[in-house]
Amino acid sequence: MACQLKTLLMLLVFLLISNLQHCVNGRPQVPCLFIFGDSLSDNGNNNNLVTMAKVNYQPYGIDFPAGPTGRFTNGRNIGDIIAELLGFENYIPAFATAPKGFEILRGVNYASGSAGIRNESGQHLTLYRYGARKVVLYGLGQLGSIPAVLSLCGIISSSCEDSLNKVVQLFNDRLISLVADLNKNLWKAKFILVNTTSMEYASSTFQGSTVTNASCCELLGFGQFQCSPSGYVCHNRSQYMFWDAVHPTEAAYEFYMGRAYRAQSPTDAYPFDISYLAKL
Ligand SMILES: *[C@@H]1O[C@H](CO)[C@@H](O)[C@H](O)[C@H]1NC(C)=O
Ligand SMILES: *[C@@H]1O[C@H](CO)[C@@H](O)[C@H](O)[C@H]1NC(C)=O
Ligand SMILES: *[C@@H]1O[C@H](CO)[C@@H](O)[C@H](O)[C@H]1NC(C)=O
Ligand SMILES: *[C@@H]1O[C@H](CO)[C@@H](O)[C@H](O)[C@H]1NC(C)=O
């Protein structure tokens, strides 16, 4: 009897492990993931470009297994976390690493630090022509409230934070009607908009503890955005919203992307969240 029970227990443990393996190795919720964006998703595309916007040096990547890879944060970034949430086994490779063959069919990350809104990058209709049917857009964050701007605003005027956030809101409000139009006019395509502002309002506590809006790392200098290669780095990084003067920490990205994937407030994503989009 005891022996039988032991066998059963071992069997259960085995099944659990094989189920877990099945989860990890299972098919992702969507066949492929293509990432377009700026430094919030860049995973090394800028490393060999002639640009100031590159961060393949310490302390960037201090919490990333491969160290400083060109990700503009301490650990995983938006593109990495969303790939994980969608069940991909690996992160989506950077365009700069020249993915080949079948690898390309699974997705490519084209994000490049300091990329901006330009006519040349307004490619959503082209993407549609190539077969993209599920598109996630991210609204702008409260640019007036990032450490880089706050320190400059301190010198300029106390209302510059608010006026910058108002401009962000104007832009985001127009995105709603853009998404509504695209959903109406592009046959069988579904677009959603992630409302970063909605999450920022809820962000002063996450993971059950109070967080600060200050930068975690010591900056290159006043008015500089990036971490100093030899500077101080905060230890309790999960209690910081910002890694450097511009970019959120991995902990903040987890908070934002968790809510983008599964909304916790009706304003987090419009018209629905990423988990719902993936199932359509
Ligand atoms: C971008 O495109 C719009 C619409 O075609 C045009 O009005 C605008 O001047 C263009 N902007 C630039 C910077 O080329
Ligand atoms: C985003 O969320 C904020 C805060 O909840 C809300 O005021 C705003 O209307 C929302 N914007 C969009 C575009 O949904
Ligand atoms: C951080 O900034 C956000 C967005 O402006 C704000 O809502 C939040 O209250 C701030 N948190 C702290 C701790 O100051
Ligand atoms: C942890 O981070 C907070 C900011 O939220 C800071 O005020 C506090 O001093 C830090 N604690 C330690 C032990 O470093």
DSSP code per residue over 32-99: ---B--STTT-BSTTTTSSSS----STTTTTTSTT--SSBSSSS--HHHHHHHHTT-SSPPPBGGG--
**pLDDT at site 132:** 85
Does 195 sit in the ligand 2 pocket, CB within 6 Å? yes
**pLDDT at site 202:** 74
Residue nearest to atom 9 of ligand 4 (CA): 236
What number of residues does the chain have? 280
CA of 119 to the centre of ligand 1 (A): 6
CATH topology for 2-279?
Rossmann fold (3.40.50)
CA of 122 to the centre of ligand 1 (A): 11
**pLDDT at site 159:** 82
The reported pTM is 0.84
Domain ranges of the chain: 2-279
Q: What is the pLDDT of residues 41-77, one digit of tens each?
A: 999 999 998 888 899 999 999 999 999 999 999 999 9
Does 238 sit in the ligand 4 pocket, CB within 6 Å? no
**pLDDT at site 131:** 83
User: Contact at 8 Å (CB) between 66 and 44?
Assistant: no
**pLDDT at site 119:** 61
Choice among 80, 244, 268, 273 that is catalytic: 244
Phi, psi of 229 (to 5 degrees): -60, -25
**pLDDT at site 80:** 97
Q: What is the pLDDT along the chain (280 residues), one digit of tens a residue?
A: 333 333 223 332 332 332 333 334 568 999 999 998 889 999 999 999 888 889 999 999 999 999 999 999 999 999 999 999 999 999 999 999 999 998 899 999 999 888 776 665 555 457 777 888 899 999 998 888 899 988 888 777 768 888 899 999 999 999 999 999 999 999 899 999 999 888 887 776 676 676 788 899 999 988 889 999 989 999 999 999 999 999 999 999 999 999 999 999 999 999 999 999 999 9
